[in-house]
A and B are shown apart, each in its own frame.
Chain A
Amino acid sequence: MNSNGVDQTAEDIRREIAALQEAKADIDDRISALQAQLSTCVSKDGTNGTNCCASLEPPPGGQLSADMIYRYSRQLILPSFGVEAQANLLKSSVLVIGAGGLGSPALLYLAACGVGLCRLGIVDHDVVELNNLHRQIIHTEAFIGRSKVESAAASCRAINSTVQIVEHKEAFRTSNALEIMRGYDIVIDATDNVPSRYMINDCCVVLGKPLISGAALGLEGQLTVYNYNGGPCYRCLFPTPPPSTSCQRCSDSGVLGVVPGVIGCLQALEAIKVAGVVGEPLSGRMLLFDALSARLRVVRLSLVKIRGRSPKCEACGENSTLTEEQFCNFDYENFTQSPLSTCPLKLHLLPEEARITSNEYNERNLKGEPHILVDVRPAHHYKITSLPKSLNIPLASMEGRLSEIATAFAREESNTTATGEASRVPSLFVICRRGNDSQRAVELLHNKGFPFAKDIIGGLESWSHEVDPKFPIY
């Protein structure tokens, strides 16, 4: 019973929480916008409105205002950083492409250190999902279902309302890339796919912007700075794209949240070095991070002084003529043979008659139809969740384990005979996570003496959507 004496169901409570969270997010947005507005007014009229963001105008002769000196004091007193580097940071603008696992910590640190007093841009077209939050730490539960750019911008403004955050709620494409990137000094590649990496590199070469490139997958990360001060670009090192089958994604291969966190922090650091004009940015070198063995090493990619960029490079080499127009017309998806968006692959390998829907499987199972169900996911996926009475034979080892399927099949057949249903030959169904590996497995089974094997369309994901909403999706 609530205070009104009316019974509230769980659904009512959930609805009310959702409504309140939405209202709260709107209020938070408005507060950040007003704070940003206030800091501008204050710096114009010189009155001291709040403690945190008053009198941004530097005093005559000085480089930083009193509030800036107080806010950034702990890095100002570093002898190797100091007021010059801080002033350089404040004058720089940085574009972060991707507000995910890498972009989250990069944005938080860049906003905090004052790098984007001119402009800190965020590009992303995606929305926040619950399974992002373990690594994309800039987002909060309240923003699930809302734009990642809005969510990231709100977090950045909450940390530092004096930074000018620019929201680019769109995918980064050849059609808008030049226009977006032109307004910034430094670019951070925090994307998650190969065509975007080539596209961002080429755009940086065309516009002459240094590129801080990071990547993470599983328990490993990599970091380097491209197109900086005569150093190599991405195409100098990788003129030919990798085969699309070698490009794993976090949604398929997994990633430990803190790993992109480490690399994203290091991207912020390299951007701060380039913007602040301090230290030796990681150009012509690559940092390799192996989380499990706690090893971090820096390898030399080129002898920068002797051979910076590759003279043969198609983007930045001596005879290269990559123009803005050529960039706009380049087909990056075709070049890399992989899609710019990261939506999961949907294979169609099998004819209709070799497939059934999850609903149909459910009906046949409920009728007690004799069958065996083979789950071809890797064993560590099977341990997360599985359907009852399924037999786990991972696709990678299936060829050597066909006898196990034959044994299970013979057992099911003899059970059927024992109950007097001699006319019914058991069926053989194959399931996986999303319905791609199950098709590959059925192809294999068709060639290895099981011509009647069928795949369950859409895998366990469709089972959860169509049959049992309580079945976990991962």
Chain B
Amino acid sequence: MQLTLEFGGGLELLCDSIKIHNVNVEPQGEEKKITVRHLLSWVRTNLIKERPEMFMKGDTVRPGVLVLINDCDWELSGQLETVLEEKDVVVFISTLHGG
């Protein structure tokens, strides 16, 4: 499944400072669907190069990271259980505090 993943607010530093990744993610084992839960573990294994604790805590993103699926907060689509579709754009963004 073709997905566009974007990292911002400093999270791009964890994946070689590249903000936009066009990736191909396949369903795991018997599963036919790809959920955000599966995507997170895929990202952790394949894209995150350093300090994974800055990206995830347990099986979800760490506090202070917003997950946006096609420009909507993942709370609106079911968080970890959101089922992804071909060409979805998933954005991971760390909230900023500077001023």
Contacts from A to B (Cβ < 8 Å): 98, 100-103, 190-194, 197, 214-218, 220-222, 237-243, 245-250, 253, 255, 260, 286, 288, 290, 293, 297-303, 396
Contacts and interface: CB of A to CB of B under 8 A. Distances in A.
B62 A242 contact: yes
14 contacts: A191-B99, A217-B9, A217-B98, A221-B96, A222-B95, A241-B63, A242-B65, A243-B54, A248-B97, A288-B8, A290-B19, A301-B66, A302-B73, A302-B75
B8 A299 contact: no
Nearest to B57: A243
Interface of B: 8-10, 19, 50, 53-54, 62-66, 68, 71-73, 75-76, 91, 93-99
Given A220-B8, A299-B71, A301-B73, 17 more contacts: A102-B99, A216-B98, A220-B9, A222-B9, A237-B73, A240-B64, A243-B53, A243-B62, A246-B54, A246-B64, A246-B94, A248-B97, A260-B99, A298-B71, A299-B72, A300-B71, A303-B76
Q: Which 3 pairs of residues, A with B, have the shortest CB-CB distance?
A: A242-B64, A217-B98, A240-B63
Contact of A220 (B68, B71, B73, B96): B96
Given A248-B10, A302-B73, A217 B63 contact: no
Contacts of B91: 299
Contacts of A98: 99
Nearest to A342: B98
Contacts of A302: 73, 75-76
B78 to A, nearest CB: 13
Contact of B10 (A217, A221, A255, A288): A217
A241 B64 CA distance: 7
Contacts of B9: 217, 220, 222
B76 A300 contact: yes
A190 B96 CA distance: 12
Contact of A300 (B72, B93, B94): B72
A218 B96 CA distance: 10
A243 B63 contact: yes
B97 A218 contact: no
A302 B97 CA distance: 21
Contact of A238 (B71, B72, B95, B99): B95
Nearest to A192: B99
B92 to A, nearest CB: 12
A159 B94 CA distance: 37
B93 to A, nearest CB: 7
Nearest to A100: B99
B98 to A, nearest CB: 4
A271 to B, nearest CB: 15
From B10, B62, B97, name the one whose CB has the most chain A CB atoms within 10 angstroms: B97
Nearest to A234: B95
A299 B68 contact: yes
A312 to B, nearest CB: 11
A286 B91 CA distance: 13
Given A217-B97, A241-B63, A255-B98, A290 B75 contact: no
Nearest to A259: B98
B69 to A, nearest CB: 10
A214 B99 contact: yes
B99 A242 contact: no
A103 B99 contact: yes
A98 B99 CA distance: 8
Question: Considering residues B66, B72, B96, which has the most beta carbons from chain A within 10 angstroms of its beta carbon?
Answer: B96
Contacts of B93: 288
Contact of A222 (B54, B68, B75, B96): B96
Contact of A190 (B53, B64, B72, B99): B99
A239 B94 CA distance: 15
Nearest to A249: B98
Given A241-B63, A299-B68, A194 B8 contact: no
A242 B95 CA distance: 9
B54 A245 contact: yes
Contacts of A298: 71
Contacts of A221: 96
Contacts of A197: 97
A247 B99 CA distance: 12
Given A220-B8, A299-B73, A242 B98 contact: no
Contacts of A100: 99
Given A299-B71, A301-B73, A302-B76, A290 B97 contact: no
